[in-house]
Amino acid sequence: ASELVAGALQDHGRAKVMGNRTFGKGSVQVILPLSENTGIKLTTSRYYTPNGSSIQAKGIEPDIVVSDTEKGDLFRLPREADLQRHLSNKQTPEEEVRSNEIDKEQLKDFKMFEFGGDDDFQLRQAINLLQGRPVETGGPGGTTVVEAAPAARQRITVDGVESSQK
């Protein structure tokens, strides 16, 4: 569901999407039992963003790509397109979908970080963007800095009382 929300917010210009490309699960499948030990998986729906783009096997491309860490992506998470017999997306060439393979060498020294913890580089960069500070994208060749626009003041209504937030 988060992919669909990110795509809708992005298409409507309501949010900047930051981080890495999403998984790309843009279909609904149901298993229909045929007998006690067999069944058939049937694709019943596909998801599209409000602009009509299918996310199947492609995912949502962020507005600002931010690596997992300051040093780059620790490893590439598997996506829908990596699965055998995945449902294809006619809007995306298959060779583009398969362009990145999981690098087993990178997994060797991988240390999982806690999402939302002190080591969450992507979260820190999102907070930087919201506060109008420069965003570091991270990467193996050094960190690229994206200048952020000044933080906007928002009107927030809580129980009918307005307050300004920065």
Residues 6 or more apart whose Cβ sits within 8 Å of residue 134: 128, 145, 146, 147, 148
pLDDT cut 90: percent of the chain above it? 41
Tens of pLDDT, residues 67-96: 988 888 766 666 666 666 666 777 665 555
Give the predicted TM-score (pTM) of the model. 0.65
pLDDT at 13 over 80: yes
Residue ranges of domains in the chain: 2-165
Cα 56 from Cα 14, distance rounded (Å): 22
Average pLDDT over residues 118-140: 89
Distance of CA 43 to the CA centre of its chain: 23
Quickly state the pLDDT bin for 17 (edges 50, 70, 90): very high
pLDDT at 163 over 80: no
